[in-house]
Structure 1
Amino acid sequence: MFSQAKALPWAQAPVLEAASEHAHGRVEVRTAKVLTAPRIAFPHARQVLRIHRWVRESCTGRVRRSYAYLVTSLPAESATAAELASLVRGHWGLEARHHIRDVSLGEGASRVRAGNAPQNMALLRDVAIGLLAGLGFASIPAAYRWVGYECFTRPLDLLRLP
């Protein structure tokens, strides 16, 4: 399916959405093109979206380019290129949260596996991430370390408990 999506006539498709972002020590430019009713081996495919990412690292000047292809059953009347691109960005936001839960909070190493406990722990980790993000540090690990320096009082301060 990837080779079929890549082989579509992208050169003829206009750029329907473009966005740039300056953050995390890099400049990222994303453009999106959409083709409707493609003939690819995916049931009910109505649109294919191609996102071109161009990233320049500010400190080194190194440039990376990548393409992502997405297939959707949503017709063009239901989802524009901007809406599809927004859905993709939202997905990466979820992936970032899962990365924080796994790497910073050790969710993958958790031995909690019975009953509702895994879902309850995931909820508690999400609450902790929200509280840590509200502290204004550059990253969740930095906030996590700051709380850990006084581990008997700072978590209670975050929850506003005496």
Structure 2
Amino acid sequence: MSRNSGLAAPPCSEHVRQQQLEVHRTVDKGHGRVEIRGIETSNRLVGHVDWPGFAQAIRLTRTRILGGVRQTEISYAITSVDRERTDARDLLKFVRGHWGIENRLHWGRDVAMGEDKCRARTAAIPQNLAALRNATLTLVRSKGHNAITSP
């Protein structure tokens, strides 16, 4: 509820709610697993939420099936990007791309180079080791080796 307007979210029928909802889903198979990603976006709360720039509410559903075991994770977000600028499909691509960047930047250091296991904690040693890891990864990638794997 907006503090300024004093109005609650407008009541509406399921039909109206569905009109204000945009849905997209992808299914990927590989590496012995199935990953289903879904996104639902709604602009129904615009004007009723006291959040600067609020344009859409988002519900992300990620389902992973591995070895017959199904795991589902649901998360929620908001965005200032309105429907005129992007749709649910593009937002789902953006979210997935964010994790690709996260994995590319941090996995090499965290896993392949053992940064998580490193116990250096004093003075500037952690920062110096991080700089060496970054320089090493940059050098390796500059030579065309993009798939950094653990030893």
TM-score range, shorter chain: 0.5 to 0.7
Contact between 1:50 and 1:70, CA under 8 Å: does it hold in 2?
Answer: yes
Q: How does 1:132-151 map to 2 (within 5 A)?
A: 132-133=145-146, 140-141=149-150, 145=151
Structure 2 residue corresponding to 1:100, chosen from 101, 108, 124: 108
Divergent runs of 4+, >6 A: none
Distance 1:65 1:25 in 2: 17
- Answer whether contact 1:100 1:140 (CA < 8 A) is retained: yes
* Structure 1 residues 112 and 63, CA gap change in structure 2 (3 angstroms): closer
Q: How does 1:1-162 map to 2 (within 5 A)?
A: 12=18, 14=21, 16-36=23-43, 38=45, 39-57=48-66, 60-97=67-104, 98-107=106-115, 109=118, 111=125, 113=127, 121-128=133-140, 131-133=144-146, 140-141=149-150, 145=151
Cα distance in 1 for partners of 2:91, 2:138 equals 26
CA distance in 2, matches of 1:94, 1:79: 20
| Greater per-residue helix proportion | 1
Question: For residues 25 and 97 of structure 2, what CA distance do their matches in structure 1 show?
Answer: 16
Contiguous gaps of at least 5 residues in structure 2:
1-13
Distance 1:126 1:15, change over 3 A: farther
How far does residue 120 in structure 1 lie from its aligned partner after superposition? 7.2
| Equivalenced residues, count | 125
Q: Secondary structure at the match of 1:30?
A: strand
Q: Is the 8 A contact 2:58 2:77 kept in 1?
A: yes
Superposed CA RMSD in Å reads 3.0
Q: Is the 8 A contact 1:133 1:140 kept in 2?
A: no
Structure 1 unaligned spans of 5+: 1-8, 146-162
SS in 2 for 1:87: helix
2:55 maps to amino acid:
R
Structure 1 letter corresponding to 2:59 = R
1:65 deviates by 1.4
Partners of 2:89 and 2:62 lie apart in 1 by: 15
**Alignment CA distance shift 1:14-1:71 (3 Å):** closer
8 Å CA contact 2:61, 2:73 repeated in 1: yes
The answer to which structure, 1 or 2, has the higher relative contact order (CA under 8 A, 6+ apart) is 2
- The alignment's TM-score, normalised by the length of structure 1, stands at 0.62
- Counterpart AA for 1:84: L
Q: Describe the shift of the 1:67–1:41 C-alpha distance in structure 2 as closer, same or farther (beyond 3 A).
A: farther
